[in-house]
Amino acid sequence: MAATATATAPIEFQTHPSRYKHWKLDVPAGSDCAALTMAVQPLEGLRDSYELKLNSYDLGVDIELADAIQRLRFEQPQVRCIVVTGGLDRVFCAGANIHMLGSSTHGFKVNFCKYTNETRLYLEDASEHSNKRFLCALNGTASGGGYELALACDKILLCDDRNSAVSFPELPLLGVLPGTGGLTRLVDKRKVRKDQADVFSSIAEGIKGKRAVEWGLVDRIAPLSRWKEAVAEMARELARETPANAARGVELPALKVEASEAGRHYEYVTLAFEPGSRRASLTLKLPAEPGPRDGAAALAAGARWWMLQLLRELDDALLHLRLNHPLIGLVVLRVVGDAQVALAADAVLAKNENWFVNEVRGQARRVLKRVENMAKSLYAVADSGTAFAGTFFELYLACDRQYLLNDSDQPVALCVADLSRGAYPMANGLTRLQTRFLAEPARAAKVLEHVGAPLDADSANELGLATFAPDSIDWDDELRLALEERVSFSPDGLTGMEQNLRFAGPETLETKIFGRLSAWQNWIFQRPNAVGERGALKCYGTPKAPEFDYQRT
């Protein structure tokens, strides 16, 4: 086993509906409504040390959910409404599995919460950008993360059977908080009154029936006697909110990857570990030919369009870095190839001529956000042969630092394209150029004057697009020292610093989820009141009562 890997078998993020253990995706022929049913298999968790009772979930359950959302976007463009419901009697979902959390390392809990956050945001992104509406049909009680999944949907229907309720029991039962955006969505998204949200978050048994509607916790209730009819009616209403799309979908095949202790090699992406250094290099290789020149040709290419495949490969590599290689602290990122190839693909993305191109843009938007949510330092290295152009210019800006070689004999291709004007907003709602030049907005506008024109190192440096731009004499030493210095710092301090610096500007629901709530949640997860010998998580399910240190800090 490589020194950078975890002691257990690596977590795989590729799956397919035919291999789902916990979800069933049903798309009836000729229908514009689909059903996504959660029926978690208790003994099919990622580890054997816990049982997934009452539709509680672990990371494996969420990997399937993320895959289902992705496939609905690409493979089922005709679907306008997705009904998310439970497959067990009188329970929708009990939330994240408590014994899984109690037996996990702190780092795993952080990454588990981060992934589930991203998956729920991806669901909301599909509603905003992909003509999909999500109805959460709570056929039973939804607790903790189960209710958080419901909150990510457009509408919530609760079964009115005197037993079904929605609840956030984390505080009274576990001494923690709803860690995948629960509190934030409660008051920011659904705009539940503060005092009522306070009461709701303090009652382990939750709230049901008419009060759940009155307080804005759900949209409607329906008796068990007409449950199926109510679900169908509400799904039809949501479907009518979006235009019909009779297009044929694009199947997403499994990615081919060669994995070893040295790294992972895909067709366009290579992830390589540098032994003994706590560093990795992530290299994106552009193809020799530009490929499709318009939306129709891109759709005809489907999943074989190199831009989509590269983005999928990059996403998979990022997830493997995050979950399977916690000791890697610094990622050195390069894009190599011909900048004109990247700009040709960007021209197709910018025209956005059909639903498929729109989905590829959405994939790029999501992967760029995934980059910025990595608990890794990211250095973009623009040296000879690199091509940070178009969408890959956004990737350059997403890194913590940008090192640019200033040598006329070894020209570097750096090029901004139209998509940098706003196609790929960050979590803060701003573009990466706006965020970079928050104090001087005119400088962002100045960079955009150069759309489509390759920038040499001097011009890019003058525009403020390089952290450092050493010449070839100093390049090797300066870069080496920078890399060695970075991995010598405290990883905890670096993560805190990076997450504070990456999202300057306005606060949004998304930045609150990642920057505030998740930070609090995972700090609380470290405290003895939660995970100490008599902490609430340790005592859950045992005869012992938790013992708290009642000092407020």
pLDDT band at 236 (very low <50, low <70, confident <90, very high): very high
Residue 479 pLDDT > 80 = yes
pLDDT of residue 531: 87
Tens of pLDDT, residues 14-48: 999 999 999 999 999 999 999 999 999 999 999 99
Distance, CA of 185 to CA of 181 (rounded, Å): 6
From the candidate CATH numbers 3.90.226.10, 1.10.1140.10, 3.30.230.10, 3.10.20.30, the one assigned to the domain spanning 259-495: 3.90.226.10
Q: What is the DSSP letter of 456?
A: P
Question: Is the distance from CB of 52 to CB of 69 less than 8 angstroms?
Answer: no
Distance, CA of 167 to CA of 162 (rounded, Å): 14
* DSSP-derived 3-state class of residue 403: strand
Same fold, 19-239 and 259-495: yes
Q: What is the CATH superfamily name and number for domain 19-239?
A: 2-enoyl-CoA Hydratase; Chain A, domain 1 (3.90.226.10)
Tens of pLDDT, residues 393-418: 999 999 999 999 999 888 888 999 99
Tens of pLDDT, residues 79-131: 999 999 999 999 999 999 999 988 898 889 989 999 999 999 999 999 999 99
pLDDT band at 540 (very low <50, low <70, confident <90, very high): confident
Q: Beta strands of 338-393 (E only): which ranges?
A: 377-382, 387-389
Residue 147 pLDDT > 90 = yes
Tens of pLDDT, residues 275-308: 889 999 999 999 999 999 999 999 999 999 999 9
Q: Beta strands of 261-395 (E only): which ranges?
A: 263-265, 269-274, 279-285, 330-336, 377-382, 387-389
Residue among 74, 235, 88, 211 nearest 153 (CA): 235
Question: Is the distance from CB of 48 to CB of 97 less than 8 angstroms?
Answer: no
Place of tokens 């059903």: 35
Domain positions in the chain: 19-239, 259-495, 498-539
Residue 537 pLDDT > 90 = no
Name the percent of the chain lying above pLDDT 90.
86
Tens of pLDDT, residues 417-468: 999 999 999 999 999 999 999 999 999 999 999 999 999 999 999 999 999 9
pLDDT of residue 389: 97
pLDDT of residue 18: 97
pLDDT band at 4 (very low <50, low <70, confident <90, very high): very low
User: Taking residues 508-521, what's their average pLDDT?
Assistant: 83
Helix 391-398 to helix 355-372 angle (10° resolution) is 20
User: Taking residues 135-142, what's their average pLDDT?
Assistant: 98
* DSSP-derived 3-state class of residue 156: strand
Residue 5 pLDDT > 60 = no
pLDDT of residue 505: 93
pLDDT of residue 517: 74
Question: Is the distance from CB of 177 to CB of 517 less than 8 angstroms?
Answer: yes
pLDDT of residue 538: 86
Query: How many Cα atoms occupy the beta-carbon half-sphere of 158 within 13 Å?
Result: 31
CA-CA-CA-CA dihedral for 46, 142, 224, 241, to nearest 10: -100
pLDDT of residue 2: 37
Give a three-class secondary structure readout of 38-75. Answer: ECCCCCCCCCCCCCCHHHCECHHHHHHHHHHHHHHHHH
User: Taking residues 360-366, what's their average pLDDT?
Assistant: 98
pLDDT of residue 6: 39
Residue 3 pLDDT > 70 = no
Residue among 96, 42, 50, 6 nearest 522 (CA): 96
pLDDT of residue 156: 98
Residue 229 pLDDT > 50 = yes
The residue among 487 and 537 whose pLDDT is bigger is 487
Tens of pLDDT, residues 248-278: 999 999 999 999 999 999 999 999 999 889 9
- Helix, strand, coil percentages (3-state) for the chain, rounded to 5, are 45, 15, 40
Tens of pLDDT, residues 317-341: 999 999 999 999 999 999 999 999 9
pLDDT of residue 480: 97
Mean pLDDT estimate for the chain: 94
Question: Is the distance from CB of 98 to CB of 61 less than 8 angstroms?
Answer: no
